[in-house]
Amino acid sequence: MSNVSVIEAAELLIKADNILIITHRRPDGDTTGCAGALCRALCQIGKNAYILENPDITKRYKPLVEPYKADDNFVPDFVVTTDIADINLFTPNAEKYIGKIDLVLDHHKSNSNFGKYNLVRANAGACGEVILDVIEHMGASLTTDIAECVYIALSTDTGCFKFSNTTPDTLRGAAKCLEAGVDGGEINRALFEVKTWPRFQMERIIFDKMQFENDKKVAIAKLYRKDIDETGADMDDLDSIASLTRQIEGVEVGITLTENKDGTVKASVRTTKEVDASAICAKCGGGGHIRAAGASFDENIDIETAYKMIVNATMEVYRETNG
């Protein structure tokens, strides 16, 4: 297992064929946008490339990957992951490739380097930055359809370029996408402004029931399964909802706890510059970025217990940070 440069990663892909691309559980715009862009670019330069079906895919991101879904009988010679920090983020149908990953393309500082070759740029705002560089070094043209995938990857992981993880390279990448013909305004409106009725109802519930800790510096929202089911909200409706808790003046840590359909609980943590989100989630078995991270709790832990655990973890990080 070794680390490689962008040039080396591009060369590996140029030499390969029968390539399979894997996205992570509960796929977001970054993992799907990266997979969609890379697969289209590989096909453009004559490669036989497909994307492994993700059972968690939502209607919002399905168009990015659906046209390149691998058939059940496809046997890859080279396997790539996009925006996956660790094998515990593999979907069940991807677990058979554990130990067989040829190239990891990612931007999480918590990446476990589980591939034979690993290109991890921890200072990138989105994995889309990494993918764009790889595509360019492969010699592929940045067509509008590829650029749309990259733009979605860049914009969704940076909160429409509002989050502090936005870098000059993020904006330069977005500019290249606009120059390639992407309608950034329309994508931004569709992803960040338009709300479905279930989403509107879930936001109302969150603000009505939000709880506060540590002199209102920590805001916690609990999304109970009964509320999610009653509103008819799906994963698209809940996308980026974790950022709501951080919008309140004075809040430094915003936490969203969600009851999954299988009864398990996941935590999404968003922080301001005062607190490390990944440090909080690491204490609960998770990880991520310094301003955005997550954790999944064991099946025997309910949402009330998860609340206590994540609050305790947050207070520990505060104490460690402030001495």
Beta bridge partners of 103: 80, 117
Residue with tokens 């970025």: 289
Is it true that domain 197-322 has CATH number 3.40.50.720? no
Number of residues that this document lists for the chain: 323
Any idea which residue has 């430094």 for tokens? Answer: 252
d(CA 294, CA 268): 4
C-alpha distance from residue 159 to each of 74, 88, 151, 291, 298 (Å):
35, 25, 12, 12, 29
pLDDT given for residue 226 in this prediction: 96
Report pLDDT for 239: 81
Read off the pTM: 0.86
Tally: H helices and E strands in the chain = 12, 12
Domain range annotation of the chain = 2-192, 197-322
Q: Which two tokens stand for residue 185?
A: 């305004």
Q: What are the pLDDT digits (tens) for 81-123?
A: 999 999 999 999 999 999 999 999 999 988 999 999 999 999 9
Tell me, what amino acid is at 148? E
The reported pLDDT for the residue numbered 323 is: 64
Cβ(40)–Cβ(146) below 8 Å: yes
DSSP state of 243: G
**Alpha carbon of residue 179 to chain centroid:** 25
Residues 145, 180 contacting (CB under 8 angstroms): no
Residue of 156, 181, 185 whose CA lies nearest to 30: 156
- pLDDT tens column, 272-293: 888 999 999 999 999 888 888 9
Short-list 53, 38, 264, CA closest to 138: 38
- With contact defined as beta carbons under 8 Å apart, do 209 and 125 qualify? no
Instruction: Outline where the chain has alpha helix (H).
Output: 6-15, 29-44, 62-65, 127-138, 144-157, 168-179, 184-188, 197-209, 225-231, 235-238, 277-282, 303-322
117-120, strands of its sheet edge to edge: 2-3, 117-120, 103-106, 78-82, 19-22, 49-51
DSSP string covering 122-176: TT-SSHHHHHHHHHHHHT----HHHHHHHHHHHHHHTTTTTSTT--HHHHHHHHH
> What topology does CATH give the domain 2-192?
inorganic pyrophosphatase (n-terminal core) (3.90.1640)
Q: In this structure, are residues 88 and 111 in contact, taking their beta carbons and an 8 Å threshold?
A: no
Q: What is the DSSP letter of 190?
A: I
Query: pLDDT of the chain along its 323 residues, tens only?
Result: 799 999 999 999 999 999 999 999 999 999 999 999 999 999 999 999 999 999 999 999 999 999 999 999 999 999 999 999 999 999 999 999 999 999 999 999 889 999 999 999 999 999 999 999 999 999 999 999 999 999 999 999 999 999 889 999 999 999 999 999 999 999 999 999 999 999 999 999 999 999 999 999 999 999 999 999 999 998 888 888 888 998 899 999 999 999 999 999 999 999 988 899 999 999 999 988 888 899 999 999 999 999 999 999 999 999 998 76
Encoded amino acid at 306, one letter: A
